[in-house]
């Protein structure tokens, strides 16, 4: 009986200790580390604000939908694999690739359709549309596009916002950074917010 009581008491103490350590100390420790300057923004979801209001996350690409497709003043993200529309926008609450290989007929048709639609939207030949404009990312919610895809959209954005081509190109340059592996990329959310600030009438 004494042995059973000792074992029960030892198990209870271990339970209490592990509950305090893993249920209180560890979560508080993680929370405290997340409050360190420089880490807090990442811990909160890398939220981008404008005029004190949350405008989105710099880690999640959401393709903007213009009020009038014929008067489109926005830069567009890569297509989302999870969207019913071949060009998006996708659902930011879900993430994932299509899992279709390069020889998949459905993917080849989607890429060709996207290339034609984007070429028409930007007023260029299909051969000028870069690869990232017609292929979805692994997450389906890539926040960045290539500099080539951003450059392709400059003339349309300038025309529909009233900004000069030089001004729009400067906004692209201001929002071009490395994507973590040394390849330049343009964060579309930040770029569109910069466009809106420069041309408040864009919608």
- Write the pLDDT tens digit of every residue in 144-169: 999 999 999 999 999 999 999 999 99
- The number of beta carbons lying within 10 Å of the beta carbon of residue 132 is 18
Asked if residue 152 belongs to a domain, the reply is yes
For residue 159, what are the domain limits?
47-198
Cβ contacts of 47 within 8 Å, gap of 6 or more: 41, 54, 56, 57
Asked if residue 203 belongs to a domain, the reply is no
Give pLDDT tens digits for 76-111: 999 887 777 888 776 676 777 777 888 889 889 999
177/117 same-domain check? yes
Residue among 142, 19, 121 nearest 68 (CA): 121
22/73 same-domain check? no
The tally of domains found in the chain comes to: 2
Q: Which residues of 133-151 are buried (b: 16+ CB within 10 A; e: fewer)?
A: bbbbbebbbbbbbbbebbe
31/107 same-domain check? no
Percent of the chain with pLDDT over 90: 42
30/85 same-domain check? no
User: Can you give the pTM of this predicted structure?
Assistant: 0.76
118/168 same-domain check? yes
Looking at residue 9, the DSSP 8-state letter turns out to be H
170/93 same-domain check? yes
Give pLDDT tens digits for 1-23: 677 888 888 888 999 999 998 88
SS3 state of residue 55? strand
**To 10 degrees, the CA torsion angle through 139, 140, 142, 148?**
130
């Amino acid at each position: 009986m004494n042995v059973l009581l000792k074992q029960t008491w030892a198990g209870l103490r271990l339970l209490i200790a592990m509950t305090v350590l893993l249920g209180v100390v560890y979560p508080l420790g993680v929370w405290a580390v997340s409050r360190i300057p420089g880490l807090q923004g990442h811990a909160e979801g890398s939220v981008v604000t404008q005029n004190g209001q949350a405008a989105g996350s710099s880690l999640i690409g959401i393709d903007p939908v213009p009020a009038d497709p014929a008067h489109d003043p926005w830069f567009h993200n890569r297509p989302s694999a999870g969207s019913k529309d071949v060009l998006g926008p996708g659902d930011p609450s879900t993430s994932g690739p299509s899992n279709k290989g390069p020889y998949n007929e459905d993917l080849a048709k989607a890429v060709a359709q996207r290339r034609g639609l984007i070429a028409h939207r930007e007023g260029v030949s299909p051969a000028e549309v870069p690869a990232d404009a017609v292929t979805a990312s692994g997450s389906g919610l890539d926040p960045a596009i290539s500099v080539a895809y951003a450059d392709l959209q400059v003339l349309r954005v300038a025309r529909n916002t009233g900004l000069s081509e030089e001004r729009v190109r400067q906004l692209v340059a201001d929002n071009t950074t490395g994507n973590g592996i040394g390849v330049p990329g343009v964060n579309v959310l930040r770029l569109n917010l910069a466009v809106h600030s420069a041309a408040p009438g864009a919608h």
